[in-house]
Structure 1
Amino acid sequence: MDYHVAVRVFDPERDCPGVEAVETICDVGTGKVSLFTDLLGDPTSRIRHTPASLMLVAEGFNGIDADEKGEEENEKEKEIVGLIRGCIKTVTCGAKTFRKGKPPSPIYTKIAYTLGLRVSPGFRRRGIALKLVIAMEKWSKSMGADYAYMATSNGNEPSLRLFTDRCGYTQFRTPDILVHPVFAHRLRSGSYSSKTNIVELSPSDAEILYRLRFSTTEFFPCDIDSVLHNPLSLGTFLAFNASYVWPGTASAFLIDPPESWAVVSVWNSKDVFRLQIRGCSRVKRGLAKTTRVFDKAFPWLRIPSIPNLFRPFGFYFLYGMGGEGPDTHKMVTALCSHAHNMAMDGGCGVVVTEVASSEPLRDGIPHWKRLSLSGDVWCLKRLCDGDGEVGDWTKSISGPSIFVDPRDL
């Protein structure tokens, strides 16, 4: 009996149980440790915050004519065996300078981001993932996207082979995912804290700052205002020398900025989905628990502890990190400590950020190497034939920084 698979648009009225079942059995990760993703009951939660989005499912069924079985019975035998999500937005892909002395202007392109590709283990190696990617690309082209990109770990060989060998994607950028555990005690900003002030910017002021200072950063979203005004964005925080008097607005700040300053925004991923580490030995679990017990019993010792990451946990994501001046690294560290304390109050397990491997401020970002991922692989594919203002973006040289949109998580 032939088994057929059809790709169609996700139907929230009938597909949620099937999608949840696929998500549950599809761990993400390589080696002995994997991450399980729990979308908190909303399969579209990871894409609905973008201007245009789509979710497709692969539905499997036996090749029996409707005449042989009733339509209702055939529907019952259908099952969700795969899924994929995608969204489209406009981002910076380069910069141009009109005349000497003027700041460069961003060059934008329309891009599709593919994420959440899942196929049930029992149905892999049947071409289902390829069907899902092709269907998503077809929709992306119909929406006017010039490029498509996806992200995977450098150890996920099946995913890399699918996208690079069979779908024509190019390995484009390799940013690092930096993870810091949330301790049971609050963090101080370090010895430099007495020399630093931190203020929270309004979304409008944050937009002004980002557009005037970071709009030429690769992958900067044209709709940064939508990101900053999103309910999941918990605020944008600016650190600067304590001797500097805050003028009250971002515009006035940029006219006469202090010698050193740094900025970061915080995104509440905890209310979208949760993660869980699977595959660790009992010994490692026991050692992690021991650190928590000592940290709770002797908080004044400020013992670095490992939160319980072996049950579902949420996290805050730091995005839009940047700054200027000789002390920027120290101010980034102060901002990360501030975000850690926010995450502690919010009941999170970790704080996460993603930066280019060559990011100048990377050394100022506290993280645990064992929890972090070096070499997240972003693959890019050109969907249109035109050259555009930047030429073929897939062949461009990587800059020092990238802007990681929190909606892409």
Structure 2
Amino acid sequence: MATIVENKSLYEEIMQKAKRVGEVAELEAMEADRNATISQRVADIIREEEIHRLILPKEFGYPQLDWRTFVDMISKVGYYNLSASWLTYFFSAHNSWVCYYPKHIRDAVINQGGFVADVFAPIGKVKPVEGGYIVSGKYNFVSGINYCDWVGVGAIMQFEDNDKPERVGILLKVSDLEVVNTWDSLGLRGSGSNTLIVNDVFVKPDAILRFNKIVEKSQPPYEDFDQDYLYYNTPFYPGFYVGFAAMAVGGAERVVEEFEKHTAGRVRFSGVNEKDSPTSQRVLAKLKLELISAKALLTEYITMMETDKSGPYEGAKYKAIRAEIIEKCTQIGIKALLTLGGHSLLKGHPVELFARDLIAIATHITSLYEDGILGYGRHLFGVQTNIQG
């Protein structure tokens, strides 16, 4: 079963938008690396092209993308710059959880037009008070927060209709919080994943998003909703995490092309052209095959999302496929770097930059290879894993 592009002319339009973002981010890659954030210019282009609105419900008047188009858009930006791809993905996908809020909240956030960040690690402290809650916490790794007006943060809460505490998301205005510039990483430096301080901020009960309810049923709790919306028709977590694999594939494709180009122009001290070396020939063949494999797995992942809709699904399988894709892409970056030799270590060499960024993608909690593969193996033997995707 092939994944479907529902509107070919829209697909081409979206690829051009992605190319525009990617090309500018590529030109500014080293500046973003030094500054630990993409520039205002790149953020403005994402906003101008309305990329953060492309997977909203149709009631907001923007073109809904199918999964193939959305994934290829993220991969396209990733081909040029992975930090920009990371934020292109997040600024698009983060509106998805906003769409599970009551209408007055979702309209307020989306119509205001700002970017949305999130960090759902359940570390926040929530204290009930009259009329709502007081929220506090220190959250690290809040990607793109420099350019966001809204943010979702995580906590654990107890509700009367559940005998167990559950993980929640809490919507806050960034203007009510403190952003601390702490991002100094090996890779994805342009993501600007800084620290957020939430200090005794009041929220009303309707700002609390119960993820358990979304997992139970991908459709929202209210009756009048867009039946065609992507996230209402696929398991939520697999759909929310697909961008990590998508950007990795785009970055790996660029690495393979750079490896081939630099190998073709490389001459050893002995005078031998490196493209005539059996070593590099074998490595290029292997890199190409691994990329083909990663792309095929990504297509399988999309097919699963299109098939599973909002019914029962194998969360552990999704996580394992995503981890396998990202592992393959990361190893493409590392193998290319090691085979090209010392000149590819120079700061700003595209393989050096992409290899660092691919490693950073692989360290994300949803990408960890050993976790993903072990979880799927346990699932295959009938062990309850509680992996949601």
Q: Give TM-score scaled by structure 2 length.
A: 0.27
Structure 1 or 2: larger helix share? 2
Structure 1 or 2: larger strand share? 1
Q: Give TM-score scaled by structure 1 length.
A: 0.26
Larger Rg over CA atoms:
1
